[in-house]
Amino acid sequence: MADLVVVNGIGFKRRNPWGVLGLTVITLGVYYFVWYYKVNNELKNYGIVVDPTVATLAVTIGSFIIIPPLVSHYKTADRILQAQEKANAPERIIPVLALLLVIVVGGFAMPYYQSQINKVWDALVASGAEVTPA
């Protein structure tokens, strides 16, 4: 379901976008929070400035206030864009579109986010990073 891309000794998971959604459905939404933390942590490990704990708290506890999850989702999409630019990925995420997907279809936006993150790891593989099947 996931391949491990290793860059300078740091591993990043290339996940199946629909598998992420499937695991979220199977676990009644619990995997979403695990995935959200892991994605932000991988972005941090790649050199993008983010505190994955704060990002995850914004979509969990912050959801009672409504605005924090929206801000967190937009910022996560922007971080993915920064990572894509850093990796010279040929395709780029559109943070506003990502936020609109979250607002309109909720958790079904996860495959879009994951497919865009995978483009970062694909660009790294194309530049010679090591890939290990997980």
Q: How many domains are contained in the chain? A: 1
**pLDDT at position 20, please?**
95
CA dihedral 3, 55, 74, 134 (to 10 degrees): 0
Query: Average pLDDT, stretch 18-33?
Result: 96
Take residue 92 and report the two structure tokens written for it. Answer: 């780029």
For residue 10, pLDDT beyond 80: yes
For residue 109, pLDDT beyond 80: yes
> Residue type for 23, please?
L
For residue 130, pLDDT beyond 80: no
Q: What is the pLDDT of residues 47-88, one digit of tens each?
A: 999 999 999 999 999 989 989 999 999 999 999 999 999 999
Range of the domain at 121: 2-133
Decide: pTM greater than 0.85. yes
Helix (H) or strand (E) holding 3: strand 2-7
